[in-house]
Structure 1
């Protein structure tokens, strides 16, 4: 089990590093072009792999925390129950981020595939994915409130809003917001993968720059940048309502 976890970790990090770069390429290519679609498929494939391995690794951490993290046995001073609790909390957080990425990537695919039929997203498989993210975000948010951990509260909130947004779209009769949904979902997956990078892989890189409460800055930075971008782009590409179009026509 330990060696499986380590192997997945190395591949996860390698593909994740590539995904961090590939994420930006569709954003700088013309939407709808052959390059945009091709690079988008690369990004989606890498995200499925990164998030999928994240789910497996976090599951192993929750099932056998000591065997995975301390293969030679734990000999520390802290109570082993506290160590197990910390490992499982971290694994649950990673589980939620992985679900967030998978949900957003899948949502971005489905809204493009079913542009004029949001109800087509209401398949048992996709509903299960979205509801899993919703339930996990509530659990993580509850733990965050109980423990006073701001990071858990923030990302649980982001994950909860993502799940609610997906449910709202698939049960909405509007057929004109697929582009906004696609952009928001892709950027949301980017927030998830960059957060995972800063929270786990990048933590050692920035340890000498941030200490104390400032250690939260690298964790929150993707959301601080990404969420306003989602809001701005959503407003930019949101279909104009009939009332708005009529008002502009009358003014002109």
Structure 2
């Protein structure tokens, strides 16, 4: 079973990386985009489930734990906003995922603090704190939106979809880079940079894509 989980995890990871790249070129909202999007999300969720299964039943890995939560949360939000385009239509499981994400973020920050003060794994401690804060922010942003939705234009869901799915792809690239450090930084003592470089590069790209769609669909809000 462990071998099956690992192999299927790798296969789904490769599927996500390939489809994510294709989706960047696909016509948004088209049939191919929708079909590949469903495959992408299914693969993402298996990545999460298989990672949690490996952690629970075979061996603990802070890396797998972080990636599992990030991939699930971002892909879940990316799908759900397509189902709740009207503000205030959140379901109980939207709230549950947001709260669970917040709790995980708090736990990861706490774990980072433990590593920092009680072990010599300083870099891992800092990475746990950084990703914990990021996770905590993601869940908190969702919860605040549910509780006090802001007045936004009618395409708000599209912007959230782009941000969430883009974030899930960044998480997938991060996973690949961290698992294969010698491909990108062979024999380097700075391989920890692979944890943060995909986000540093990918976040501005997502921001640019969102602004382009905002300008295209609602020019008046492009400068907001």
TM-score category of the 2 structures, normalised to the smaller one? 0.7 to 0.9
1:188 is displaced (CA, Å) by 0.8
Give ranges in structure 1 of 5+ residues lacking alignment.
Answer: 66-87
Q: Which residue of 1 aligns with 2:49?
A: 52
Deviations 1:182-241, CA, capped at 9 Å, x for gaps: 0000011111122222222x135446x2422x112222221111122222233333479x
Q: Which residue of 2 aligns with 1:72?
A: none
Which one of 174, 179, 182 corresponds to residue 195 of structure 1? 174
TM-score computed with the length of structure 2 as normaliser: 0.82
Q: Which residue of 1 aligns with 2:111?
A: 143
- Alignment of structure 1 residues 111-126 onto 2, 5 Å: 111-115=81-85, 117-121=86-90, 123-126=91-94
1:46 is displaced (CA, Å) by 1.0
Q: Confirm whether residue 40 of structure 1 aligns to residue 18 of structure 2.
A: no
Q: Distance in 1 between matches of 2:22 and 2:140?
A: 28
Q: Which residue of 2 aligns with 1:12?
A: 9
Q: Which residue of 1 aligns with 2:208?
A: 232
**Number of residue pairs the alignment of both structures matches:** 210
Q: Distance in 1 between matches of 2:215 and 2:84?
A: 17
Q: Distance in 2 between matches of 1:133 and 1:245?
A: 34
Give the alignment's Cα RMSD to 1 decimal: 2.5
Give ranges in structure 2 of 5+ residues lacking alignment.
Answer: 117-121
Q: Which residue of 2 aligns with 1:106?
A: 76
Q: Distance in 1 between matches of 2:200 and 2:4?
A: 32
Q: Distance in 1 between matches of 2:99 and 2:157?
A: 21
Deviations 1:86-143, CA, capped at 9 Å, x for gaps: xx4xx2442232122111111111111121x23222x222322221121111221233
Q: Distance in 1 between matches of 2:69 and 2:191?
A: 24
Instruction: Look at both structures and tell me which one has the larger radius of gyration over its CA atoms.
Output: 1
TM-score computed with the length of structure 1 as normaliser: 0.74
Q: Which residue of 2 aligns with 1:211?
A: 188
Q: Distance in 2 between matches of 1:133 and 1:144?
A: 16
- Alignment of structure 1 residues 54-73 onto 2, 5 Å: 54-61=51-58, 65=59
| Runs of 4+ with deviation above 4 angstroms | none
